[in-house]
Structure 1
């Protein structure tokens, strides 16, 4: 019985995909609103091009939301740039969701470990971000993406990490973690590589869908 809920028939049914799309779409909007203060501060204090590197989790959610649209409305034909665009978006959906899903939970837990106070929003964020990582790996078997696009997507993650910690536009951290910035930076880079490995392993060993 439980195997039905992991099956292609259930996961790709429109009765499941539409609610999943709506949840991710609304979560993406909420995520950008969550980053509003940092986006405004970056706009006022940094060159405009750095804005794109600020909202990490909602951008990951945006990529996955677009990937769901490919499943809801499969293109009748794919070639050239259209095919390449889909491969890269789906790769970004996977590696970004895994990376930032785990990262957000890790930072909340690390802050709490050092004494930061937790409220209901933190628990909501942990649940939603773990869901991001889980759903990305779960749906990878239905995506068209491949190893080359996963490498490109990981390159984006590493570029994002470099911009974040070179120019100070990384997501706001709990006060208790501000003296651990070098450790956070190292963890962030490592998590980018882990996300790539997790995606590649899932891609290689996925069952034929």
Structure 2
């Protein structure tokens, strides 16, 4: 009987220690070393304003899109910073690298170069594990000297492999594409300020 009790006690202690083991939190960023390197010559100034994101994903935890309109909030998988700030930093890095620009948001700057203000309103930011990473954003570019505004929409749906790393990489690719579209709009800013082509 004492052998049975010893065995039961050992099993109970093993179960308790497994339950008490801390779960590791993993942190992800949308802004990493895969962006285009900044060009030496500065041709533009940009102001990438704070980004708006939907309330249901405006949190540190990754939010997965599930079937039937359900979402899953992942406590152990988190963004390194607020999602809106992560998106804004990724767009700023992408635009400045593509254009040879400096992001002068909240920074004094000389008047020698044209300044373009970029506003972004993310309509949808969906994360379907092993399926897709989707970004649907309405954005505008304002040429500060003339006050003219160009308003466009980008919808990017990246297929992703299984795993959280692949999902985050899909969102990075999607944001690089959006930043590329913004850069193209700034580079060829139309005289009428209306066309997204």
Question: What's the TM-score, normalizing by structure 1?
Answer: 0.27
The structure with more strand, counted as a fraction of residues: 2
Bigger Rg over Cα? 2
- Does 1 or 2 have the higher relative contact order (CA < 8 Å, sep 6+)? 1
